[in-house]
Structure 1
């Protein structure tokens, strides 16, 4: 599944962007405006997965399957931790990760928020 997702994204280009956030999937680098965004490997994987499904609610189980390997023992609580760490990091880009109770998470632009570029 991960391979198919990567192939699909490669056909669309190697950069995901939304609001003031850009993720270069080939270089594994992200920016808000011109400022580099410091992300752990798991935060990167969660954010990449959410941004590749903009407009869709993504369940915790889907995120878990996307970010964990065969030898990982992650729980849905781990997803909550990564999402909580990502929220303040992407806020300056005019984005938020909204929890949709009982379904999962959704990345959306904050209405009226101008991305802050430092």
Structure 2
């Protein structure tokens, strides 16, 4: 899952990035509205977390653009404002939820899960391919009913391929799902993750095919 955080407090966003990465969430950070507009124009996100007060304006002003570029994008307001009128203003501006600083990371994770379950976001509870099952709600994989422990980035690659099982996923889409825009990506890193996944999934009768010039395709071994 890739999320955009618009927040200018470096200490806060660094702590959030570390905490969320432990839950297989890739967090891109924009320090102001200008950087946020550029990020929204160049990448796909599952959710947007907006600080209220930013160096170049109020975070709520970004919501109309975010929704034009990404219809149905869940928006979570993150702010130090506690007054009920502020909450109403944020929700009326189009935010889906509201969390005040300081906050507990577990509460933030719960609110992220909640806004991403909105009816506008089609939900696929699980997918089964051969002996592989991927649970999207809990973001975990299993083989023959046994939990499949995967490193974070391999899990993100598998999640993205499972969401589009039977269809080709471009290299760019996979990289967007796995890496933030400030991550250093070596040329063969994605291939390394896919190679390890292939070995892991082989006993399940599931294959990842490289489609030359197009991307990668996840399907069962008996599919043509």
Could you tell me the TM-score, scaled by structure 1's length? 0.80
2:96 is equivalent to residue 96 of structure 1:
no
Name the CA shift for 1:69/1:38 in 2 (closer, same or farther; >3 Å).
Answer: same
Please name the residue that 2:45 is paired with.
2
Cα shift readout 1:77-104 (whole Å, capped 9, x = no counterpart): 1110100010011112110001111211
Cα shift readout 1:35-58 (whole Å, capped 9, x = no counterpart): 221211100000000111112211
SS in 2 for 1:106: strand
2:79 is equivalent to residue 36 of structure 1:
no
1:31 deviates by 0.7
Once superposed, which parts of structure 1, at least 4 consecutive aligned residues long, lie more than 6 Å away? none
Preserved contact between residue 134 and residue 162 of structure 2 (Cα < 8 Å): no
Whose RCO is larger (CA < 8 A, sep 6+)?
Answer: 1
SS in 2 for 1:17: strand
Please name the residue that 2:174 is paired with.
63
2: CA distance, partners of 1:13 / 1:51: 10
**Structure 2 gap segments, 5+ residues each:** 1-43, 47-72, 74-115
Could you tell me the TM-score, scaled by structure 2's length? 0.45
Name the CA shift for 1:50/1:76 in 2 (closer, same or farther; >3 Å).
Answer: farther
Q: 2:137 aligns with which of 14, 17, 26?
A: 26
1: CA distance, partners of 2:186 / 2:220: 28
**Structure 1 gap segments, 5+ residues each:** 113-118
1: CA distance, partners of 2:136 / 2:199: 21
SS in 1 for 2:122: helix
Pairwise mapping of residues 75-114 of structure 1 onto structure 2 (< 5 A)? 75-111=186-222
**Aligned Cα root-mean-square deviation (Å):** 2.1
Please name the residue that 1:52 is paired with.
163
